[in-house]
Amino acid sequence: MIVRMTRVRVAGPRVLLDRTLGVLQDAAVVHVTRPALPETGIGPYDRERRSLRRILEDDETALRLLGAGLPLPRRGVPELSLPRAAALARRTRRRAERIARAISDLEDERVVLLRYQEFVSAFRPLLESELAWPDGRAFYVVLRAGARRAVQRLREHLEVTVDGQVEVLSRPLASGETAVLILSSAEAGVRVAQLLGAARVQELPAPEGLGETSLLRALPRLPLRLEEVARAITAREAERRSLRDAVLDDLESLRAWLHDRLLIVDARGQAHAGRHLFVIEGWMPESELSRLAALVLRELGPDVMVEAVVTETSGRSDAAVELANPPLFRPFEVITRMLPLPRYGTIDPTPVVAVFFPMFVGLMLGDVGMGLLVAALAVTLRLRSKPRSTLRAVSSMAGACAAFAVVFGLLFGELFGDLGSRVFGMRPLGFDRQNAIVPFLALSVAIGVVHVLLGLTLAVVNAWRTGHRREAVGRGVAASMVALTVLAVLAAVRLIPRALFTPAVVALLVAFPCLVLLEGVLAVIDLLSNFGQILSYARIMALGTASLMLAVVANRMVGAMGSALIGVLFALLFHVVNFVIGLFSPTIHALRLHYVEFFGRFFSAGGTAYRPLSHWHPSYPGS
């Protein structure tokens, strides 16, 4: 259901505006909107907002760089004054940026050094003899992964170019790259360098941190430098930790305070503020009005007035929308919230969804075994989810679907298809889906009739509540015509007394012109579409039967594969596939039946979400 809202007006002397907004923030019940009053030209407080945002950016950047983790909810009361807190945020940000940059540079150097170490260890014996070869020259090249074949081409080119005065050696590296060492005589070295340059093959220079131009001369210092880098990184990390410990509380408090303050500034921009008076308007739950009035009187005295502005339902069409359902139905709000919120004054379909959605999924699955597997999945999700999270809601919905699947499984006598009847002698308490396909189809369509008629009835209620009386009567006539048509069909096939056929047809003939008069010619098309929508519920039978057939085929594989073991493996594989399909397909089609066939009858989207002015929280929208 949608919480009943009232429009509230809070007015008082201008000097009390900020304090009043602070009290409203503490109360956390008023969704502030702009009052229908002329602009005063005061505000919109952009300078203060910019200044607060700049400090907040410093603060949050510093916290991020210091690795403060997820923000903790806390009341924003900084112990420092704002200028000192702002200076602290700025200073900490700069210092944190310096530390982060230093760590990043050291990490980069370590990666490069490790790469050299790999290269060097591939050619260590040769490199160690380089010093004994003063007239020679060495080139160090690393070819990218998959370019190993290029070594042969490189060797051929070089040998032709420098007339054999070159030796090309290659070793594969663990990274998939290829280390290539090219040794040449001093006079051939110039031409080799030219050729490598022309072929855009980059030579590996000695690492910068070693202060050597020759890789060989840098070689002994490599392990030492690696140790130095590791020590430097540890020292910088320690510096970052100590900085974080020193300023974390102040920065966290400052962040919460700044967010709170920005919310106040935004709300102030919505208020009508003159030179002497202010007026704040907004929407709040009707049940909270007296509590708010008492709180404002206690905190601000009689100078600030709180009153309800509009009480008529018709005047609340732009009210903020808050859904509030009993705990049993609340998880299914996730399905309603996947669409834009319903407009205020219309119907929240969540309670109906909470009944029909798991029922549809259960009907389609209709298997004790599958139901128990879904229940196990629901329990796992519940254990791994946080309270009030979407995952927790999904686990509750899965639990409801599992319960329906088990109940319908008992009615249909199914446990992983016909395994229950073949092994345990399980018998259907209702009917056997495998043979009673037409009754199952009739049941699915009958459920469609009930669901669509319920949707049409809710459309009548919606139109009536929003003051569209003519539309309400028109929708009522359309709903009656659908019901009369169903009656006539049932009478024609003698499922109900045949005597009802003629009265039903006469009533239809009377209702038809009434419908055209009330809703226009297009209502006829809408009426016909209702029958198409009802037939669409045949998918419940189709998906249910398909799932059952897959399970039956899986069970028959045990005897059909020659080897019992292979048969069991194939059967298990088929059951797993069937279960995965059974998780997605019924869910998607149950959603579709709700969104298209059911919601399409009455749902009126476009409600504004209720977001009361409150203290900042890490999960606050836009955080």
Partner 1 sequence: MQNSLAFAAALAIGLSALATAWAQGRIGPAAAAALSEKPELTTTAIILIAIPETMVIMGFVVAVLILRGTG
**Residues contributing to the site for partner 1 (CB under 8 A):** 338-339, 437-438, 441, 535-536, 538-539, 541-543, 545-546, 588-589, 591-592, 595-596
Nearer to partner 1, 25 or 533 (CB): 533
3-state DSSP of 452-483 = HHHHHHHHHHHHHHCCCHHHHHHHHHHHHHHH
- Dist CA 400 CA 378 (whole Å): 9
Contact assessment for residue 155 and residue 148, using Cβ atoms and an 8 Å cutoff: no
Burial of 32 (0-12, 13-18, 19+ CB in 10 A): buried
Query: Residues with Cβ < 8 Å from 522, sequence gap 6 or more?
Result: none
Return the axis-axis angle of helices 82-122 and 221-270, rounded to nearest 10°: 150
Question: CA–CA distance from 167 to each of 87, 155, 189, 512 (Å)?
Answer: 63, 8, 11, 97
Smallest gap, in angstroms, from Cβ of residue 591 to partner 1? 6
Nearer to partner 1, 139 or 440 (CB): 440
Smallest gap, in angstroms, from Cβ of residue 222 to partner 1? 46
Q: Which two tokens stand for residue 429?
A: 């308490």
Nearer to partner 1, 429 or 588 (CB): 588
Q: Which residues pair with 402 in a beta bridge?
A: none
Nearer to partner 1, 505 or 542 (CB): 542
Nearer to partner 1, 246 or 535 (CB): 535
Q: Count how many residues are written for the chain.
A: 623
Smallest gap, in angstroms, from Cβ of residue 543 to partner 1? 7
Smallest gap, in angstroms, from Cβ of residue 451 to partner 1? 16
Nearer to partner 1, 137 or 539 (CB): 539
Nearer to partner 1, 535 or 580 (CB): 535
- Dist CA 169 CA 197 (whole Å): 19
- The DSSP secondary structure of 127-140, one letter per residue, reads HHTGGG-TTEEEEE
Smallest gap, in angstroms, from Cβ of residue 546 to partner 1? 7
Say which DSSP state 208 is in.
Answer: G
- Dist CA 305 CA 300 (whole Å): 9
Smallest gap, in angstroms, from Cβ of residue 367 to partner 1? 19
Smallest gap, in angstroms, from Cβ of residue 455 to partner 1? 16
Burial of 469 (0-12, 13-18, 19+ CB in 10 A): exposed
Nearer to partner 1, 242 or 389 (CB): 389
Nearer to partner 1, 296 or 401 (CB): 401
Smallest gap, in angstroms, from Cβ of residue 452 to partner 1? 15
Smallest gap, in angstroms, from Cβ of residue 321 to partner 1? 18
Nearer to partner 1, 169 or 436 (CB): 436
Smallest gap, in angstroms, from Cβ of residue 434 to partner 1? 12
Q: Which residues pair with 412 in a beta bridge?
A: none
Quote the distance between the C-alpha of residue 218 and its chain's center. 52
Nearer to partner 1, 222 or 393 (CB): 393
Smallest gap, in angstroms, from Cβ of residue 596 to partner 1? 6
Nearer to partner 1, 272 or 539 (CB): 539
Peptide bond preceding 13 in cis form (omega within 30 of 0):
no
Burial of 575 (0-12, 13-18, 19+ CB in 10 A): buried
Q: Which residues pair with 114 in a beta bridge?
A: none
- Dist CA 404 CA 416 (whole Å): 15
Smallest gap, in angstroms, from Cβ of residue 444 to partner 1? 9
Smallest gap, in angstroms, from Cβ of residue 589 to partner 1? 6
Contact assessment for residue 173 and residue 141, using Cβ atoms and an 8 Å cutoff: no
Measured in Å, how far apart are the chain's first and last C-alpha atoms?
Answer: 28
- The DSSP secondary structure of 284-346, one letter per residue, reads EEGGGHHHHHHHHHHHH-TTSEEEE---SGGGGTT-EE-B---TTTGGGHHHHHTSPPBPTTS
Nearer to partner 1, 248 or 334 (CB): 334
Nearer to partner 1, 454 or 541 (CB): 541
Q: Computed from CA positions of residues 243, 244, 246, 252, in that sequence, does the dihedral angle turn out positive or negative? A: positive
- Dist CA 448 CA 443 (whole Å): 9
Segments in 170-210 forming alpha helices (H): 186-198
Smallest gap, in angstroms, from Cβ of residue 541 to partner 1? 7
